[in-house]
Structure 1
Amino acid sequence: MTALYLLRHGETEWSRSGRHTSRTDLSLTPTGARRAGDAGRLLGTMRGGEQPALVASSPRTRALRTAELAGLSVGLVTEDLAEWDYGEYEGLTTPQIRETVPGWTVWTHPCPGGETAAQVAARATRVLERVRAALSDGDVILVGHGHFSRVLVATWLSLGPESGVHFGLEAAAVSVLGDERGTPQVKRLNVPPVLDWEGGDAGSAGTKGS
């Protein structure tokens, strides 16, 4: 059976410190680059040698570099896979935002000048329409970002975008979406790169958006 694989980009300086990163085009840290390579080996172990029907990526450098280091040949680069646009909150951490908006989260509050949850969900729906068309020919791999991919998981399960809060996605982790007799299903969630399985520093990058 074919499946949809989600690969979150490797660690950046901002993802490591919890700063919300959408349009800002950051490079990977050395750790992020190493884990991107590890993620490619993990994908090979999970999928075998079959060529995917489609590899698509966000246009941000951190996503494209992750795909490259993972050994993936990107066939589609699309803004539909870009991170949630945080508007005026770009570059801020949640504690900084909460200094003026108590209790703020991206799941429950607006991002002034950025995207609404409904707009992000609409992008996820467009992506999944293309994914489902390609899955008849083989696996699909999407290389993207934390918050957007969490909305995409929720959309795959026919849940609202706010349900993305329930799905943690760390930097360079792999998730697998599929179905059971036609019912959408999460097959794997937030699987860390191989070196983390072998006693590395799992979890240091966190699950914030980037």
Structure 2
Amino acid sequence: MFSSPLSWEMRPGWDLWRDGVIPVDGSHPGEQIQQVAARTDAVLDRIRPLLGDGDVAVVAHGHLARLLTVRWLGFDASASRLLGHPHPARLSFLATEDEQPFIAAWNVP
């Protein structure tokens, strides 16, 4: 979910969590945040049935990890801005308690 810094400069007020990925050119057409959320929801739909057999590991870059987390919690994709950016090679743990999703740990070295 990255785009050219030049694109940011050309769009004052642009916000990734509201406006999505800025289109750069024909081979990088951008993506709306709702499109990313739909793909993330599809991943969560594949993961949930596996949780009955144990833990599931997901590897993702920081923005997608934030979006996956808020969708796990049942929030709108724009709530991703509320989470701090995970640093590379850090771990975060999502869990459930009494069938309610929560963040068990975030950005652990």
Q: Aligning the two structures, in what range does the TM-score lie when normalised by the shorter sequence?
A: 0.7 to 0.9
Q: Deviations over 1:145-188 (max 9, x none)?
A: 11111110010011011111111211111100001111110000
* Partner of residue 50, structure 1: none
Scaled by the length of structure 2, the TM-score of the pair is 0.85
SS in 2 for 1:144: coil
* Partner of residue 95, structure 2: 178
* Partner of residue 68, structure 2: 152
Task: Trace 1:114-129 onto structure 2 (pairs within 5 A).
Answer: 114-129=30-45
Q: Deviations over 1:29-51 (max 9, x none)?
A: xxxxxxxxxxxxxxxxxxxxxxx
C-alpha distance in structure 1 between counterparts of 2:70 and 2:45, whole Å: 14
**More helix as a share of residues:** 2
Specify the code of the residue in structure 1 equivalent to 2:12: P
* Partner of residue 14, structure 2: 104
Task: Trace 1:60-139 onto structure 2 (pairs within 5 A).
Answer: 84=1, 86=2, 89=3, 92-93=4-5, 96-110=6-20, 111-112=22-23, 113-139=29-55
* Partner of residue 191, structure 1: 108
Alignment check: 8 A CA contact 1:151 1:164 kept:
yes
Identify the range of structure 1 (106-115 vs 135-144) with the bigger mean alpha-carbon deviation: 106-115
Alignment check: 8 A CA contact 1:175 1:190 kept:
yes
* Partner of residue 164, structure 1: 80
Q: Compute the RMSD of aligned alpha carbons.
A: 1.4
Specify the code of the residue in structure 2 equivalent to 1:143: V
Q: Deviations over 1:1-24 (max 9, x none)?
A: xxxxxxxxxxxxxxxxxxxxxxxx
Shift of 1:114: 1.4
Specify the code of the residue in structure 2 equivalent to 1:100: M
Specify the code of the residue in structure 1 equivalent to 2:51: L
SS in 2 for 1:177: strand
Alignment check: 8 A CA contact 2:19 2:33 kept:
no
Shift of 1:98: 3.5
Aligned residues: 102
C-alpha distance in structure 2 between counterparts of 1:105 and 1:173, whole Å: 25
Specify the code of the residue in structure 2 equivalent to 1:174: L
The runs of 5 or more residues in structure 2 that have no matched partner are: 24-28
Shift of 1:141: 0.3
